[in-house]
Amino acid sequence: MLASLAAPRALAQTSDDELMAELDAADAADSYPDPIEPVNRVTLGGNEQLDRFVIEPISRGYSAVMPDPAELAVRRAFRNLGEPISCLNHGLRLEPKLAGVALARFVMNTIGGVGGLIDIATPAGLPEHQADFGGTLHRYGTPSGPYLVVPVLGPSTARDAVGDLVDGVLGPQRYLLSGASQIALGTGGGISARTEHGQSLEALREQSIDFYAALRTAYYLSRESELAGTPPGPSAPLDWSAETSASKPSRSSTDVYSARRNASSETVPPR
């Protein structure tokens, strides 16, 4: 994902309204609280070292030995473990239909899909609707709280950190597996996720002037889109967040937006 090479094509396919939406989202990100930024930066530095010397080498080795279809199957299996959590959270949100769908998906994919390696529920008319406790707190009006970089786990907020803790307690593996098995399972899920997002993360790290600010903006835009129930736009947050540089990313995003509009006027014929 090289933004500099993909820019002309992306600009040709992105409308002015979509670019305005990106700018508005960046301006919104400027208002997110980050009162402990110095601590977060130190934590991110520690996470980066852990990723560089431990997680990334394991992820590269995993990707090298696992065929792509097998990688996708493993990701489906880990996502399947989240269906009971989605079921409970949909119930807490008073969404019985979605709770029933999540439960049915878990039963079908666990039994008929070999532990979730194969998704047989979606073709059967039961699409996935993930729900977590952080999103449930958001549904009932709980503010995000300050931005946090959690050791090992990465970007979060106070609300989502609490939500992750509750989801961990609610997860079925907590009651069905031994402590060692839970650690192994969590590690496997983390390696699978790192492999899935590795290229985007590397591009963001290499292209951003301030990786901390870019990662924070990308996290907030992705999370806000998820909480709103809308898919990411045609220009993913990781693509353009790499071009932000200040600790308040929206200010530098304005310059990025201006440059994109100018380029767009030369690339896309006026309507």
From CA 237, how far away is CA 239, in angstroms rounded?
Answer: 5
pLDDT tens digits along 190-225: 676 777 777 888 888 888 899 999 999 989 999 999
pLDDT tens digits along 218-251: 899 999 999 988 755 433 444 444 444 333 443 3
Residue 95 scores a pLDDT above 70: yes
**Backbone φ and ψ of 150, nearest 5°:** -85, 135
Q: Which of 191, 210, 195, 180 is nearest to 152 (CA)?
A: 191
From CA 105, how far away is CA 251, in angstroms rounded?
Answer: 44
Higher pLDDT, 158 or 29: 158
pTM, rounded to two decimals? 0.72
Give the lowest-confidence range in 15-24, 28-37, 140-149.
Answer: 15-24
| Cβ 118 vs Cβ 106: under 8 Å | no
What are the E-state strand segments in 107-193?
Answer: 147-150, 154-157
pLDDT tens digits along 97-111: 999 999 999 999 999
| Cβ 235 vs Cβ 201: under 8 Å | no
pLDDT number for residue 5: 33
218-227 long-range contacts (CB < 8 A, ≥24 apart) are: 219/147, 219/155, 219/156, 220/28, 220/29, 220/32, 220/147, 221/25, 221/26, 221/29, 223/157, 223/160, 224/25, 224/28, 226/135, 227/135, 227/138
Structure tokens at 264: 């767009």
